[in-house]
Amino acid sequence: MGAIALLETPVFIYICDLMTFSEFTVKGQVVTDKSSALSWLLSHSRRHIWSVIGLIIPSFANAALAAWVPILIGAAFDVFVRSQPKPNYEHLLWVTTMVVITQIGRAVGILMRNISAEIIGQRMERDTREELYVSLIGKSMTFHDMYAVGDVMARATNDVREINLMFNPGLNLVVGSASFLIMPALFAFYIHVELTIVPLAFLVLYVIALWQYLAELRPISERVRRTFGDLNAHLVEVIDGVETVKGAAQEEAETKRFLERARDYRDAFVNQGFVEARFLPLLLMGLANAFGFWHAVTLFRSGVISFGNVVAFMGLLSLFGFPVFTSLFSYSQVALGLAGARRILELITGETKLDENIEGHDSTVKGYVSFENVSFGYTSEGNVLKNISFSASPGQTIALVGQTGSGKSTLVKLINRIYDVQNGSVIVDGIDVRDWNLSSLRKQISIIEQDLFLFSRTIGENIAFGFPGANQVQIETAARAAQAHDFIMDFQNGYKTTIGERGAKLSGGQRQRLALARAFLTNPSILILDDSTSAIDSATEDQIQSAIREASKGRTTFLITHRLSQIRWADLIVVLKQGEVTDVGDHDYLMENSLAYKRIFSHYIGEQDLPERGN
């Protein structure tokens, strides 16, 4: 009943229904106490209460049996001393048998303890990894912009692994050593009450020294984990941009930067070694043995205890060797695990302003989009967009034009709430996007960016990413519409070809056509094309433009491009300058009334063959 009551505590309720995360819901997740790293770990470990019991009870049983052995050996010495010249061999046989039985019992207990600790460690790693993954993909882009990918990966892999090692062998040895600290005093009391003085004094001084040791170790452990994250972040960044590094012949400079971070990581570990070298319990154990032996011999000479009691007491004091020597490793491992837990919890509890709004508006999007005095900034230092206002009717094509950095890409990311506005409102079908069910809203909006992302999966799986239930006919239809079918069939495995990380096996134009096919397959109500044809040759572009115009029929399309042949056929053109709307209208109107648009337009005249509007 105690275990059941523990699992029913408010901080640890298993939810069989739905649990809301920031941007989506997941079934069967566990509510954990995130008030501190220790509370969070405890709330996770309570799920495995029987394994915890299986760790603690065998640990104390093992220590009790280990403490019984010196008592038995002391009794054997007394048999020899008192029964000379003919020892009581029957009693010696009994002592020997009991020693063997205790060792067998210890072996079983240690096996149970190790199995329980391994189960806890592996399950904690699994549960922590799941909670962190679910949390990360539920965070807003504002949150993800704050962290380097490499540092997040270090936390999701190495720090999570440290939590496993914290439980086994870390806490496994801590619990085992704690039980060995208690037994000498308990069994010394059985011999003589005065003999408990030295074990109890050692226990008190050990706790004080350990407290000081852990307090000194905590910031160093956090530095070790932080420097490893910095090292991993640099590595991921350089490997991801290795083409740029090689193109600029900066291999030597980047290697130097990497070695600097590796040196920081090494220095943190060396600093930890200095702290461990000053571990006082080693000195305390030596003093305990010396004073304990003196005390026991004094009592023996006074006739208070027997010679066998002296032997038994010294055997009990030797049990302190296990907690003292294992503490050097086990408590360092626990400190690293707690530091890792704090870094993981920082990600899980990191503030994200987006909310799934599961009870929000859920219906088919018609395509009316309105920006009403919208302002947005990635940081509090300043706004990227300032007082943006314009409207788009269902089925219209809206082109956003402006110089680089004018806020075009940022603006369209407010429609599907990749980011949320600071001021004003983005309205879809008369309803603020923040009042929509987030999942419903995003499923009806497709964004194709210039810096698009393809997964290391088959071509067919990449096209069907937003529509997992699509059959082969639907996938091929979307690919044909995006002018991608022919080059796909040139691969030996066709749609089953694995394209590698980020589509490394494809050209830029091929990647963009697959992204277009992905968007066409989802049949969105709102289509956003962010310079999506920049890596496509002119011949293919003409074909894709026809496909885009066909796909744009009946849906609202936002177009960001420098290709004026696409801008001209837009129903509405919005001119942006430094985050503000300067002019709104169609091509003919803006050519007559917008100086900013004419300047942008004239820059490309003569560089492109501009067909008549509507062709």
| Co-location of 211 and 63 in the same domain | yes
Domain identity same for 479 and 331: no
Residue 25 forms part of a structural domain: yes
pLDDT at 247: 76
Q: What is the pLDDT of residue 542?
A: 67
Q: Is the peptide bond before 199 cis (omega within 30 degrees of 0)?
A: no
Residue 497's domain spans which residues? 450-523
Statement to judge: residues 49 and 8 lie in one domain = yes
307 and 381 together in one domain: no
- Residue 615, pLDDT > 90, answer no
**Of 309, 324, 348, which residue sits at a domain end?**
348
Bond from prior residue into 169 cis (ω within 30 degrees of 0)? yes
**How many other CB atoms are found less than 10 A from the CB of residue 28?**
10
Residue 319, pLDDT score: 92
- Has residue 99 been placed in a domain? yes
Q: How confident is the model at residue 115 (pLDDT cuts 50, 70, 90)?
A: very high
Query: Over 80: is that where the pLDDT of 345 sits?
Result: yes
Beta strands in 223-361 (DSSP E): none
Q: How far is CA 540 from CA 19, 164, 221, 511, in A?
A: 47, 53, 56, 13
Pick the last residue of a domain from 523, 543, 564. Answer: 523
Q: Give, for 423, the enclosing helix (H) or strand (E).
A: strand 423-428
Name 242's Cβ contacts closer than 8 Å, sequence gap at least 6. Answer: none
Token pair for residue 59?
């640990």
Taken as a whole, the chain contains a residue count of 615
Residue 541's pLDDT is 66
Does 227 reside within a domain? yes
Specify the amino acid at residue 363. Answer: S
45-66 burial, b at 16+ Cβ within 10 Å, e below that, comes to: bbbbeebbebbbebbbbbbbbb
Tell me, yes or no, whether 593 lies in a domain.
yes
Confidence at residue 335, expressed as pLDDT on a 0 to 100 scale: 86
Residues 369 and 336 in one domain: no
382 and 251, same structural domain? no
Cα–Cα distance between 125 and 206 in angstroms, integer?
A: 31
Residue 547 lies in a domain: no
- Distance between CA atoms of residues 172 and 112, nearest Å: 11
Question: Which residues touch 57 (CB under 8 Å, ≥6 apart)?
Answer: none
Domain-embedded: residue 512 = yes
Q: Is residue 543 part of a domain?
A: no
Task: Note the pLDDT of residue 58.
Answer: 93
The pLDDT confidence band at residue 234, using thresholds 50, 70 and 90, is: confident
pLDDT single digits (tens) 89-103: 777 888 889 999 999
Residues 6+ apart with CB under 8 A from 498: 456, 457, 458
Q: How does the average pLDDT of the chain come out, rounded?
A: 82
pLDDT digits (tens, 9 = 90+) for 13-25: 333 333 334 555 5
Question: Does position 526 have pLDDT exceeding 80, yes or no?
Answer: yes
Question: Does residue 8 carry a pLDDT above 50?
Answer: no
pLDDT over 90, % of the chain: 26
Across the range 72-90, mean pLDDT stands at 78
With beta carbons less than 8 A apart as the criterion, state whether 529 and 559 touch.
yes
| Confidence at residue 4, expressed as pLDDT on a 0 to 100 scale | 32
3-state helix, strand, coil in the chain (%, to 5): 60, 10, 25
Same domain as 530, residue 516: no
One domain, residues 116 and 170: yes
Mean pLDDT of 429-458: 85
**Could you tell me whether strands 423-428 and 431-432 are parallel, antiparallel, or unpaired per DSSP bridges?**
antiparallel
Q: Record the pTM.
A: 0.70
Question: What tens digit of pLDDT does each residue of 180-228 get?
Answer: 999 999 999 989 999 999 999 999 999 898 888 888 888 888 888 889 8
Q: Confirm if 334 and 347 have CB atoms less than 8 A apart.
A: no
Total domains present in the chain: 3
**What is the Rg, in whole angstroms, of the alpha carbon atoms belonging to the chain?**
35
d(CA 150, CA 110): 39
Q: Where residue 451 falls among pLDDT bands split at 50, 70, 90? A: low
320 and 380, same domain (yes or no): no
More confident residue, 357 or 437: 437
Instruction: For residue 432, name the pLDDT band (cuts at 50, 70, 90).
Output: very high
Task: Inform me whether the pLDDT recorded for 241 exceeds 90.
Answer: no
Q: Is the pLDDT of residue 532 over 70?
A: no
pLDDT bracket for residue 505 (50, 70, 90): confident
Grade residue 550 by pLDDT with cuts at 50, 70 and 90: low
Average pLDDT over residues 108-123: 92
**Whether the predicted pLDDT of 563 surpasses 80:** no
| 393 shares its domain with 491 | no
Q: What is the CATH number of the domain that holds 325?
A: 1.20.1560.10
Question: Are 395 and 307 part of one and the same domain?
Answer: no
Residue closest to 174 by CA, chosen among 324, 314, 73: 324
Q: Is it the case that residue 614 has pLDDT exceeding 60?
A: no
Pair of tokens at residue 358: 């599961």
Least Cα distance to 375 among 324, 425, 325 occurs for 425
User: What is residue 171's DSSP assignment?
Assistant: I
pLDDT of residue 327: 81
Res 17: pLDDT: 34
Backbone CA torsion sign across 432, 434, 439, 442: positive
> What would the mean pLDDT of 408-421 be, rounded to a whole number?
88
DSSP string computed for 431-447 = EEGGGB-HHHHHHTEEE
- Please determine, for residue 26, whether its predicted confidence score (pLDDT) is greater than 60: no
Residue keyed to tokens 């990600």: 347
pLDDT(601) > 60: yes
Residues 326 and 428 in one domain: no
| Domain end (from 474, 504, 523) | 523
CB 511 within 8 Å of CB 577: no
Q: 514: domain CATH number?
A: 3.40.50.300
User: Has residue 548 been placed in a domain?
Assistant: no
What's the confidence (pLDDT) of residue 69?
93
